Amino acid sequence: MAKRTFSAKELVDAVKSSLSKAELMSKYTVSATELESLLQKLMKAQRITAQDVERIRSSGGSAANVFECPECGWGDMADLDQCPECGAIVAKIQEELIEDDVEPAEPSMEKQPVPSSIRDFMIFRGGLSRTGYYPSTGVRQLSEMKWKFKTQGWVSSTPAIAYETVYFGSWDGTFYSVALDTGILKWSYKTHGPITSSPAVALGRVYFGTSGGNLSSLDALTGKPYWKFGTDGPISSSPAVTAKMVYFGGADGVLYSVATKPGVVTWAFKAGGLISSSPAISGSFMCFGSYDGNLYGLDRASGKVKWVCKTAGPISGAPAIGGQAIYFGSWDGNAYAVDMNTGQVRWKFRSGSKIACSPGIGYGKVFFGNWEGRMFAIDMKTGQEAWRHETEGPIASSPALAYFSVYFGSADRSLHVLDVNTGKPKWKFKTEGSINSSPAVFEDRVYFGSDDGNLYAIA
């Protein structure tokens, strides 16, 4: 694809105007991913502010109004460069897109720093739909370990990255904030008991659950507590955070809807078993699994049940939403695709042993691992197996997708990286403990935890 250039001055004027996200995408004929790349470059050059970016992101507008897959007509390309339905290449981000023709603006005097990514919401599994897709280049060829940060317990929490910082919890009962580039500690926050909940960062705050039964809200820059919300059991579910609400489940079997300010419950839904599954959201719809074997579809505003899909085993992982389908695994050994509107099963795939992780979806496939150490790629439409890869230990780590690679950990103590289309290994990295943490891919690095007590940054 030919390299394109854009006038920085014209882009700045367009951003400062009242154009919406969809209008900007249409004006410059770019995908949502390319628009984000352009905005990030403008922000790094100090031509626009974080507030400008937030206005555009909150203005709505879906890529579906501008783009369709040229091969199959799939219309939900907001965060994907390869069609998740058929695998066709729709767009590729170029490294250099802006042609500078204006002098840099004076540095902003705002107190709040510009995030290292233009994303103001850094959520487990890459976003509220929990697809596991990261719009980053990733680590195409293993070069080196950039750093590792030692804790006094297992690290099964998946890190969240924002504000040039990596946030994660440890089984030593401490929540950590470390520098993105160096791994040097910025601040820590002590709780009572292991932290297995993966954090979410939203609008300057970080949210996570504790084994003491609290959902905590801290200042992302200082670690200062804002509030905590108490439940009747440990919380391992990763919260789904919007501008005004936080949604999460707990071992008390309740899915909570709590206001971000000041941490007051707006509704609560009681399931038939504990909830470690992290809720997935699409518009006014949300869904999650429970140890009672059910996947629940709820109205997000009221918490009322829309439908229930029954399986024969606990559902511990987060579901992933792609188009009008929901994909998830169960301890009954099956991977499922169900209709988002009705909860009816479209297909199910028998893997041979329990599935504890969350699936990754993209490139026309569903990716998941099972307790026998196999990573599968399944056709999203048909549920037919595309390939499988054997590891030497159970897989609880949820796969992450970035630039035609799938990243995941195994109890064999290795981080594995495979080609999404063939399943062939690209590289792997060995640690001294099982890897149950799900990798987070940011730019040209991958971050993950290990049961050896370390958080790793690999390039």
Q: Is a pLDDT exceeding 60 seen at residue 242?
A: yes
Q: 38 falls in which pLDDT band (50, 70, 90)?
A: confident
Whether residues 365 and 435 fall in one domain: yes
> What is residue 291's predicted lDDT score, i.e. its pLDDT?
97
pLDDT, tens digit, 9 for 90 and up, residues 404-438: 999 999 999 999 999 999 999 999 999 999 999 99
> What is residue 59's predicted lDDT score, i.e. its pLDDT?
64
Q: What is the biggest distance separating any 2 CA atoms in the chain, rounded to whole angstroms?
A: 62
pLDDT, tens digit, 9 for 90 and up, residues 191-226: 988 999 999 998 899 999 999 999 999 999 999 999
- β-strand 445-449 against 205-209: which pairing, if any? unpaired
More confident site: 192 or 287: 287
Q: Which amino acid is at 435?
A: I
Q: Which pair of tokens denotes residue 237?
A: 């579910």
Whether residues 144 and 189 fall in one domain: yes
Starting at the edge strand found earlier in the chain, the sheet holding 305-310 runs: 280-282, 285-289, 294-299, 305-310
Within 13 Å of residue 239, how many CA atoms lie on the same side as its CB? Answer: 31
Q: 41 falls in which pLDDT band (50, 70, 90)?
A: confident
Domain assignment present for 249: yes
Give the chain's count of helices (H) and strands (E). 4, 35
Domain assignment present for 111: no
Spatial distance between the Cα atoms of 352 and 291, rounded to a whole number of angstroms: 19
Domain range for 227? 121-458
Whether residues 82 and 133 fall in one domain: no
CB neighbourhood size of 304 (10 A): 10
More confident site: 329 or 96: 329
Q: Is a pLDDT exceeding 60 seen at residue 93?
A: no
List, as one string, the DSSP characters of 332-398: TSEEEEEETTT--EEEEEE-SS---SPPEEETTEEEEE-TTSEEEEEETTT--EEEEEE-SS---SP
**Cβ proximity of 240 and 246 under 8 Å:** yes
Q: Which residues are CB-neighbours of 111 under 8 A, at least 6 positions away?
A: none
Whether residues 86 and 144 fall in one domain: no
Whether residues 178 and 287 fall in one domain: yes
Domain assignment present for 213: yes
**Cβ proximity of 413 and 134 under 8 Å:** no
Spatial distance between the Cα atoms of 363 and 403, rounded to a whole number of angstroms: 10
DSSP 8-state secondary structure symbol assigned to residue 11: H
Domain assignment present for 104: no
> What is residue 33's predicted lDDT score, i.e. its pLDDT?
66
Pick from 67, 189, 177: nearest CA to 122: 177
Q: Is a pLDDT exceeding 50 seen at residue 114?
A: no
Spatial distance between the Cα atoms of 125 and 129, rounded to a whole number of angstroms: 8
Q: Is a pLDDT exceeding 90 seen at residue 448?
A: yes
Spatial distance between the Cα atoms of 329 and 63, rounded to a whole number of angstroms: 29
Whether residues 198 and 335 fall in one domain: yes
Domain assignment present for 94: yes
Whether residues 65 and 150 fall in one domain: no
Domain assignment present for 115: no
Whether residues 141 and 281 fall in one domain: yes
Q: 1 falls in which pLDDT band (50, 70, 90)?
A: very low
Domain assignment present for 107: no
**Cβ proximity of 395 and 357 under 8 Å:** yes
pLDDT, tens digit, 9 for 90 and up, residues 172-196: 999 999 999 999 999 999 998 899 9
**Cβ proximity of 84 and 90 under 8 Å:** no
Q: Is a pLDDT exceeding 60 seen at residue 49?
A: yes
Domain assignment present for 112: no
Whole-model pTM: value is: 0.76
Of 99, 131, 151, which residue sits at a domain end? 99
Whether residues 410 and 440 fall in one domain: yes
Pick from 413, 407, 327: nearest CA to 375: 407
Q: Assign residue 46 a region: left if phi > 0, alpha if psi is -120 to 50, beta otherwise?
A: left
> What is residue 247's predicted lDDT score, i.e. its pLDDT?
96
Whether residues 51 and 138 fall in one domain: no
Whether residues 59 and 204 fall in one domain: no
The angle subtended at Cα 279 by Cα 128 and Cα 329, nearest 5°, is 105
Of 99, 132, 151, which residue sits at a domain end? 99
Q: In angstroms, what CA-CA distances link 190 with 169, 176, 205, 235?
A: 10, 9, 17, 16
Percent of the chain with pLDDT over 70: 83
Whether residues 87 and 155 fall in one domain: no
Count how many domains the chain has: 2
| CATH value at residue 242 | 2.130.10.10
Q: What's the burial of 232, exposed, middle or buried (CB within 10 Å: 0-12/13-18/19+)?
A: exposed
Percent of the chain with pLDDT over 90: 64
Spatial distance between the Cα atoms of 287 and 451, rounded to a whole number of angstroms: 30
